[in-house]
Amino acid sequence: MKLNIAVLPGDGVGTEVTAEAVKVLKAIAVEFNHIFTFKKGLIGAAAISKTGEALPKETLELCKSTDATLFGAIAASGHDLDLNAKTLPIQGLLDLRKSLDLYASIRPVIAYDSLLNKSPLKRDHIVGTDISIFRELTGGIYFGESELSTDGNSAFDTCKYSREEIERIAHLAFKAAQTRKRKLTLIDKANILESSKLWRKIVKELAPKYADVSVQYMFIDNAAKELILNPKQFDVILTENMFGDIISDEASVIGGSVGLLASASIGNKYAMFEPLHGAYNKAKNKGIANPIASILSAALLLDHFGLFEEAALIREAVEKSLSLHITTPDLNTKYDNISTIKVGDFIEDFINNPEETNLNFTNIHLGQSTII
Ligand code: IPM
Ligand code: MN
CB-count exposure of residue 338 (10 Å: 0-12, 13-18, 19+): buried
Q: Is the fold of 1-104+263-372 the same as that of 120-255?
A: yes
Residue 136: CB within 6 Å of ligand 1? no
Angular region, 359: left φ>0, alpha ψ -120 to 50, beta rest: beta
Residue 11 in contact with ligand 1 by CB distance below 6 A: no
Active site residue: 11, 188, 235, 245, which one?
245
Question: Contact at 8 Å (CB) between 350 and 326?
Answer: no
CATH number of 1-104+263-372: 3.40.718.10
pLDDT of residue 372: 32
Q: Is 300 in the pocket of ligand 1 (CB under 6 A)?
A: no
With a cut of 90, say whether residue 142 has pLDDT above it.
Answer: yes
Q: Residue range 171-196: average pLDDT? A: 98
Ligand 1 atom with the shortest distance to the CA of 241: 12
Looking at domain 120-255, its CATH superfamily turns out to be: Isopropylmalate Dehydrogenase (3.40.718.10)
Which amino acid, residue 241? N
CA distance 318 to 59: 30
Catalytic choice (221, 225, 286, 334): 221
pLDDT of residue 145: 98
Alpha-carbon torsion (87, 88, 89, 92), positive or negative: negative
**Average pLDDT of every residue of the chain:** 93
Instruction: Give the residue, out of 43, 90, 266, with the most ligand 1 atoms within 8 A of its beta carbon, to mutate for a pocket test.
Output: 90
Q: What φ, ψ does residue 326 adopt, rounded to 5°?
A: -85, 75
Would you say the CB of residue 295 lies under 6 angstroms from ligand 1? no
Ligand 1: residue of 8, 103, 245 to mutate (most ligand atoms within 8 A of CB) is 245
| pTM, to two decimals | 0.93
Stretch (H or E) spanning 70: strand 68-73
H or E segment to which residue 68 belongs: strand 68-73
C-beta of residue 318 within 8 angstroms of C-beta of residue 291: no
Helix, strand, coil in percent for the chain, rounding step 5: 45, 20, 35
64 catalytic? Reply is: no
Whose Cα sits closest to atom 10 in ligand 1? Answer: 245
Of residues 93, 67, 179, the one with CA closest to residue 134: 179
Report CA 223 to chain centroid distance, whole Å: 20
Q: 211 by DSSP, 3-state: which?
A: coil
Residue whose CA is at the smallest distance from ligand 1 atom 8:
245
Q: Which pLDDT value is given to residue 367?
A: 52
Q: Which ligand is nearest to the CA of 136?
A: 1
Domain residue spans of the chain: 1-104+263-372, 120-255
Per residue in 93-119, pLDDT tens? 999 999 999 999 999 999 998 889 888
User: Which residues lie below 8 Å from residue 33, measured CB to CB, with a gap of 6+?
Assistant: none
Distance CA 334, CA 315 (A): 21
pLDDT tens string 290-314: 999 999 999 999 999 999 999 999 9
Strands of 271-275's sheet, edge to edge? 35-40, 2-10, 68-73, 271-275, 262-266, 104-110, 130-136, 236-239, 183-188, 214-219
Taking the CA of 94 as reference, the closest ligand is 1
pLDDT of residue 257: 86
